[in-house]
């Protein structure tokens, strides 16, 4: 199967970067703020730099729940699979209507502690780099 991707121009440095699958952008429509289109190098999320691997293996928290993201869409948003499958509804929610940690897939409020094991992270609806995935996974062995 052929998957069509899109490159997006960074608002800050003007360089092209991977913006996700073209189908996601088509499904989302044209409503976006060009100032939100910022590459990883210009993003304040890139403050996370692994001394061993640099930024090559950064993992991100899903914007809408406390899961590891596996999709990057619209040039702006990291999603886990269930949230990606429900992105139309989730993107329509205001930030103040989103549940706060702990949050399960599809913005479901959970009880207890953060599924990521984090004591503190930005509010649901914000992008957040978890750090180097290689080093984080090596520590679990």
Is 24 assigned a catalytic role? yes
113's tokens: 């502690």
Closest CA to 20 of 53, 63, 54, 49: 63
74's tokens: 């619209």
Question: CA 46 to CA 141: how far, in whole Å?
Answer: 26
Q: Find the catalytic residue in 10, 24, 66, 101.
A: 24
Is 132 assigned a catalytic role? no
32's tokens: 């976006």
Q: Find the catalytic residue in 73, 83, 101, 132.
A: 73
- 130 Rama sector, left if φ>0, alpha if ψ -120 to 50, beta otherwise: alpha
Q: Which residues belong to the active site?
A: 24, 73
């Amino acid at each position: 199967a052929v998957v069509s991707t899109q490159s997006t121009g960074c608002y800050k440095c003007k360089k092209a970067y991977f913006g996700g699958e073209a189908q996601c952008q088509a499904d989302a429509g044209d409503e976006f703020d060009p100032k939100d289109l910022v590459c990883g190098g210009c993003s304040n999320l890139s403050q996370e730099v692994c001394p061993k691997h640099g930024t090559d293996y950064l993992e991100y928290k899903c914007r809408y729940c406390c899961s590891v993201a596996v999709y990057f869409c619209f040039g702006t948003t990291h999603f886990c699979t269930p949230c990606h499958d429900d992105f139309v509804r989730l993107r329509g929610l205001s930030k103040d209507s989103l549940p706060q940690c702990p949050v399960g897939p599809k913005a479901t409020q959970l009880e207890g502690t953060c599924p990521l094991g984090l004591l503190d992270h930005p509010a649901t609806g914000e992008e957040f780099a978890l750090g180097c995935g290689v080093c984080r996974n090596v520590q679990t062995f």
